[in-house]
A and B are shown apart, each in its own frame.
Chain A
């Protein structure tokens, strides 16, 4: 069965530090990949997504993610975080073929200290 693993459960950074959140999935076929963000007290919203093409995708608020097929990874990055990036980040994957239900990672809680 598909699974999604987010290695970092809690991350604490200072403003201006660089961020990389890991996401690995366990499906060998073609996948669609997503990162969602949940700011405190708000609902989940899409940060970025990858379906095909350039494996480096850019999303909102300066975030980007790189799909590395050989490593089954889709890590989220931001060169310089801000206090307003404090949130919970979820990686999600679905099979691009028949079973396209989203499989979610457990989330990473990011706290950025001013």
Chain B
């Protein structure tokens, strides 16, 4: 039982390049989330999904796209990376919303130069 895994762990991009971050969970959770963590700004929700085939915008969705084609996977895409997207990205999943905890992946540290 690996929980929530993220690939890659580190990445350096040049401005304008694109990439996809992969999140996978093996807990059969319905809900999945992408956050970014920046110093002094806590966790900010980028996009989330309430089930396979669904996605929704979070607090800071601009510049990102997501897809949830399979229940266990949640992909975060950057079509044209910008230095402002330098951050640590965390994926999380949960069985439901409300009273249940979110389980987090180890994070992806992305630097855009």
**Which residues of A pack against B, CB within 8 Å?**
9, 32, 34, 42-46, 49, 51, 90, 94, 96, 100-102, 104-107
Contact = CB atoms under 8 A, between A and B. Distances in A.
Contacts of B107: 43
B97 A101 contact: yes
Question: Interface extent on B, as a size class?
Answer: 20 to 34
B48 interface: yes
Given A49-B101, A100-B98, 9 more contacts: A32-B98, A42-B106, A44-B90, A46-B102, A49-B99, A94-B98, A100-B97, A101-B97, A107-B42
Interface string B83-113: 0000000101000011101101111000000
Contacts, number: 45
B12 interface: no
A106 B98 CA distance: 20
Interface string B34-61: 0000001111110010000000001000
Given A32-B98, A46-B101, A106 B40 contact: yes
A96 B42 contact: no
Contacts of A102: 45, 102
Contacts of A94: 97-98
Contacts of B102: 44, 46, 102
A102 B94 CA distance: 11
Given A43-B105, A44-B90, A44-B104, A104 B98 contact: no
Nearest to B106: A43
A105 B42 contact: yes
Contacts of A96: 98-99
5 contacts: A43-B104, A44-B102, A94-B98, A105-B42, A107-B42
Contacts of B58: 101
A52 to B, nearest CB: 9
A34 B101 contact: yes
